[in-house]
Amino acid sequence: MSSTASSPLLSKSLSTLGFTADMLFFSLNYEFTKTESKGMMKRFKKSQSAMDIDIACVLYDENCTISDMVWFKQLRDKAESIRHQGDSLNGKDRGEQALYNAPMDQEQIRLYLDKVPSHISHIGLLASSYHGEPFGKIEAGEIHLSDDEGNYAFKVNLKQLPRDCSAVWVAGLRRDIDDWHLTLQNLPLSETDLQKAAQQVAHELARALPIPALHTTN
């Protein structure tokens, strides 16, 4: 039930994957990774920082227009159907239980799919390196989607993403009649600002919409 960035892209309904619960966890874990400023600033210890990776869920309507967004600047959507559990700034600042490979995810967004407003047709799952460093510089890291019983729909190894990738459309959920369809995308985005990255995904979703049939009259 799992997939990595190097595996063939997953595209299946949640029920086919064996997910029967309405709650999913879009989660991030990564190892603390120092970065250093270049040039004159590298002389000052205060210029040293760490990689800061963020995740987001973006809600789109049937026209692929952004309706709402849950990320570190907004921890809930209007309907309380998507809930961010808190931002980690460096991969180790949320305690021993939330270190890499610890029992608790460093960042987690909970999706209560039964509460998602009916006008929402797509949910985009995104990740971005806040300071713009490529994911490949991380010591180790993983993004995954799971249910409350620990079953995984996919796992994405951050180091297996394209070398210069610093923002990615990880996956998308599309509403079906009585189910949700999951597609693992792993599509690099040029924008690291999550709001701009969400707009890029909107364009990609719109491109995939079926072209309306032309009606002619005799």
User: How many domains in the chain?
Assistant: 1
Return the half-sphere exposure (C-beta side, CA atoms, 13 A cut-off) of residue 10: 26
Domain annotation covers residue 76? yes
**pLDDT for res 49:** 85
Torsion sign, CA atoms 27, 195, 9, 177: positive
Domain annotation covers residue 153? yes
Give residue-wise pLDDT tens across range 164-208.
Answer: 999 999 999 999 989 999 999 999 999 999 999 999 999 999 998
Q: Which amino acid is at 131?
A: H
Domain annotation covers residue 212? no
Give residue-wise pLDDT tens across range 6-43.
Answer: 344 689 999 999 998 889 999 999 888 888 655 444 44
Domain annotation covers residue 144? yes
Domain that holds residue 16: 11-35+46-207
Instruction: Find, among 211, 207, 214, 216, the residue nearest to 185 by Cα.
Output: 207
Whichever domain contains 86, its CATH number is: 2.60.60.30
Domain annotation covers residue 2? no
Domain annotation covers residue 216? no
The DSSP line for the chain is ----TTSPPPEEETTTTT--SSEEEEEEEE---EE---GGGGGSGGG-EE--EEEEEEEEETT--EEEEEBTTB-B-TTS-EEE----SSSSTT-GGGSTTSSS-SEEEEEEGGGS-TTEEEEEEEEEETT---GGGSSSEEEEEEETTS-EEEEEEGGGS-TT--EEEEEEEEE-SSSEEEEEEEEE-S--SHHHHHHHHHHHHHHTSPPPPPP---
Give residue-wise pLDDT tens across range 112-136.
Answer: 999 999 999 999 999 999 999 999 9
Domain annotation covers residue 93? yes
Q: Edge to edge, what strands does the sheet with 152-157 contain? A: 82-84, 107-112, 23-30, 141-147, 152-157
State the pTM of this model.
0.85
CA 190 – CA 76 distance, rounded (Å): 26
User: At which residue do the structure tokens 């760490």 appear?
Assistant: 50
Give residue-wise pLDDT tens across range 69-108.
Answer: 999 999 999 999 999 988 666 545 444 544 456 556 788 9
Phi, psi of 210, rounded to the nearest 5 degrees: -65, 145
Domain annotation covers residue 147? yes
CA 136 – CA 69 distance, rounded (Å): 26
